[in-house]
Chains A and B, each alone.
Chain A
Amino acid sequence: MGTPGTAQRDTVDASLVRRVAQGDKVALETLYGRYERLVFSFAGRILRDPHLAEEVVQDVFMRIWTRAGQFEGNRGRFSSWLLNITHNLAVDRLRQARSRGMVLVDWQPAARAGDRVEVDVAEQALLAHQVQQALTILSPDQREALELAYFHGLTHTEIARRTRSPLGTVKSRLHHALLKLRALLMTEGKEADLRHGNP
C-alpha cells in the first residue's frame, strides 16, 4: 500500500539487511547512517538519558549485526523491525530500573538551545510533528495512558494504579486512543508514507 518512494526505501533496506547478514560491514554502516538519529531519538525519548540511549543504540545495532538473517522482509518492513527492537530494549532497561526501586521524574527532553537544525533531520522533524499533532487530538486521559504504556513501559495494571483509575477505564482509554490515532494518521497510503518519511 506504500508509494513508489516507500517501496524503494523498503527495497534498499531489505537489500542492505541481506548484505549485513553476510557480514558486510559497509552495509551495516549504511543502515546505521539511515537510522541512527531515529533510533537514538526514540531511545532517548524512553530513557531520557543520552548515555543510556547510546547504549541502546549499540545494543540495537549489535542485534542487527548478529541477527540480520532473522529478518523476514515479506513479513514486514525493516524500519518496523528495527524500532520494535529499540522499544523492547529501551523498555527492558526502564523496567529493570524500576524493579530496583528507582523511578523517573516526569520529564521530556527538549532540543537544547544550541542545537542546530540540520537538513537531514528535517524529515524526521516533520514526521515527529505530524504524529505529535495527532497526539494532541487525544483527550488528556488518553494521552497520559498512551504515554505511560508506550514510552514509560507500564502495564495496564500499573497505569491503573498510577492514575488511580479503574482497570477497564485504562483499557478503554488506550484502545480508543489507538483508534483515534489510526483514524487520523492512516488514511490510504499515508501510514506507509509516514513511516518512511514521505508525508
Chain B
Amino acid sequence: MGTPRIAVPCPEPEDLSLLALGALEPDEVAPLQAHVERCPRCRLQYAGLESTVELLPHAAPPLAPPAGMKERVLAAVTSPAPAEPPAAGGLAARFRQGGAAAWLRVGGVAAVLALAVVTGSLALQVSHLKDELAELEQWERFAYDGLGAVNASLNSAARTGLKVVPLEATPAAGGAGGSVILAPTRDGQVKVVVYVWKLPRPANRQVYHVWLVRDGERTSGGTFTTDYQGRGGRMIQVPGVDFQAIGVTLEPDANVMQPRGQRVLAGNL
C-alpha cells in the first residue's frame, strides 16, 4: 500500500496572472511553476494569460534605433572574443560594480527651465543657466513628455529648498561647464539634475558618465551624450544626498564598471 497522495490545491487564478506577468515574489515562482507544469487545468489557464502578456511588448511606441547600433551590436556579438558572456550573472555583476544603471535621461532642459521659473531667489546661482534659456527653448533633444511631471514636483521642491552646485571643468574640458541641481521631492527623495554645456559631442560609442562620489567610492549616475552645441543632461532620483561630490567622465562606452576615462567635470557638494 503506497503513501496516500495529498492533493495540492490549485492556486488562485490571480496568482497565475502574477506568474505570467513576472510579478510574484522570487520565492513564490518555483512552487507555482511546478504546479502549473503538472496540472492540466492550470496549464491551460496559464497559457491563455501568458499569451496575453506576450502582446504587451507591442504597447511600446516604436523608437528609432541609434545610428550605427546594428553594426556595433553585431560586431560585439559575433566577435571571436566577446567582451561579456551572456550569462545573467554577468549582467548582475556589471551592475553591482557600477555599470550604467537604469536612470532617467530626460528633461535636463525641462528641469532647468522649470527651476529657473520657480526659483527667483536662486537667480544668482542659476544665472549662467538662465543665459542658456533662449537656446534651450529651441532645444528639442529633451522635448519629452516628462516635463509635466518635472514641473509638478519642482513646484513643491521650490518651497522646500533647492541647492545648485557648479561643476568645474578639468583641463581636459577647457571651456565646458555644468551644474548640479538638487531638488527635494514630495516623497522625501531628491532629484539630482546634472546639466552640462560646451562638452564636445562624444564619438562613436563614447558617452559621458555621471559618478556620485560617496566616501571615495564612485557609483554610476548614468550616462548621457551631448548635442552639437555640447549640451546634455541627466536626471536621477535618489533616496537622499549621502554623496559628497559628483564627477563626469568621458568613457569609451556606456558599459563601464568604474571610471576609466578622463574626468571632464567635477563638483563638491
Contact = CB atoms under 8 A, between A and B. Distances in A.
Interface of A: 25, 28-29, 32-33, 36-38, 40-42, 44-45, 47-55, 57-59, 61-63, 65-67, 80, 83-84, 86-89, 91-94, 96-97, 100-116, 118, 121, 124-125, 127-128, 130-132, 135, 146, 149-151, 153-157, 159, 171-172, 174-175, 178, 181-182, 185-186, 191, 194-195
Given A37-B63, A55-B254, A174-B18, A182 B106 contact: no
A141 to B, nearest CB: 15
B145 interface: yes
B104 A104 contact: yes
A80 B47 CA distance: 13
Classify chain B's interface size.
Answer: 35 or more
B72 A178 contact: no
Contacts of A116: 64
Contacts of B13: 175
A112 B59 CA distance: 17
Nearest to A183: B52
A17 to B, nearest CB: 15
Given A51-B207, A105-B237, A59 B55 contact: no
Report whether over half of chain B's contact residues are helix, strand or loop; otherwise say mixed. mixed
B102 interface: yes
Contacts of A135: 59
Interface of B: 12-18, 20-25, 48-49, 51-66, 69-70, 72-74, 76-78, 82, 84-86, 88, 91-92, 95-96, 100-107, 140-141, 143-146, 149-150, 153, 189, 191, 207, 219, 222-223, 235-239, 254-255
Contacts of A62: 76-77, 82, 84-86
Contact of A41 (B23, B60, B66): B60
Contacts of A52: 100-102, 254
Contacts, number: 269
Given A42-B57, A54-B66, A88-B88, 16 more contacts: A36-B65, A41-B63, A52-B101, A58-B77, A59-B84, A62-B76, A80-B54, A86-B57, A88-B22, A92-B88, A96-B91, A105-B146, A107-B144, A108-B145, A157-B25, A178-B52
B74 A194 contact: no
A61 B102 contact: no
Nearest to B212: A102
B196 to A, nearest CB: 16
B57 A156 contact: no
Contact of A44 (B60, B85, B104, B222): B60
Given A52-B102, A54-B73, A107 B149 contact: yes
B77 A28 contact: yes
A159 to B, nearest CB: 7
B24 to A, nearest CB: 6
